[in-house]
Structure 1
């Protein structure tokens, strides 16, 4: 029993250290606060992939009663530690991503065109912003052929935790 408790405490300590390190990267004033607009980046750097709606809910949990535009570390740390312990907002598995691209590739070509990618990512589901789309295009599209060879792209997207 004591060994299990020690292992659990070590896990919490390790997670809190990771959260602290990620938060500190964006704490430019070294005052234990970060701009609310940076929280999504911090959360994603910790291996979580919440939707925009889920991110909004997480922000609501840690924002001040009177929003200041900043999130305090003392509120962020317990919320984020709990999220990591519960393994919430895990990234999608590689095989699931692969199948999603295959569904979009109706002719089974093994790739999507840049235009198809833009259409699917901006007109379906939770649409990408212009900035997100530009970032995805720069990473996914083969500039010489103007296509997304999605098997390669999926392998690049998947992060092992």
Structure 2
């Protein structure tokens, strides 16, 4: 029983160190605060992939009563520790993402054009911004063929589950 408790405490300590380290990267004034606009990047760097709506819920939980535009580490740390312990907002597995691309590739050619992907990601579901599209296309487009070879891209964009 004591081993389980020690293991849990070690896991929490590891999570909290990771959270503090990620937070510190954006704490430019070293005052345990970060710009609220950086929180999504911090959360994603910790292996979580919340939707924009879920991210807004997380922000609402850690923002001050009167929003200041900054998030305090002492509010962020317990919320993020809980999220990591509960394994919330985990990225989708590679096979699920691949199936999604295959559904979009209606002619089964093994790739999508930039125009097709842009249409799907800016007009359906939770739309990508122009900046997000440009960033994604810069990583996704095969420079030789000028299309998205989605099997290669899915492998590139997924991470091993820890």
- TM-score band, normalised by shorter chain: over 0.9
Residue of structure 1 in register with 2:3 after alignment: 3
1:22 paired to 2:22: yes
Residue of structure 2 in register with 1:59 after alignment: 59
1:44-55 equivalence runs, <5 A: 44-55=44-55
Of the structure 1 ranges 134-143 and 14-23, higher mean CA displacement relative to structure 2 is found in 134-143
SS of structure 1 residue aligned to 2:71: strand
1:73 paired to 2:73: yes
For 2:130 and 2:115, the matched residues in 1 are separated by 14
The one-character-per-residue Cα deviations of 1:115-156 (angstroms, maximum 9, x if unpaired) are 000000000110001111000000001233221000000000
For 1:144 and 1:130, the matched residues in 2 are separated by 23
For 2:96 and 2:35, the matched residues in 1 are separated by 34
Residue of structure 2 in register with 1:134 after alignment: 134
For 1:143 and 1:153, the matched residues in 2 are separated by 12
TM-score by length of 2: 0.98
The one-character-per-residue Cα deviations of 1:22-78 (angstroms, maximum 9, x if unpaired) are 000000000000000000000000000000000000000000000000000000000
SS of structure 1 residue aligned to 2:20: helix
Residue of structure 2 in register with 1:36 after alignment: 36
The one-character-per-residue Cα deviations of 1:80-134 (angstroms, maximum 9, x if unpaired) are 0000000000000000000000000000000000100000000011000111100
TM-score by length of 1: 0.99
Task: Report how many aligned residue pairs link the two structures.
Answer: 161
Of the structure 1 ranges 98-107 and 139-148, higher mean CA displacement relative to structure 2 is found in 139-148
For 1:145 and 1:94, the matched residues in 2 are separated by 23
Residue of structure 1 in register with 2:159 after alignment: 159
Which sections of structure 2, spanning at least 5 residues, go unmatched? Answer: none
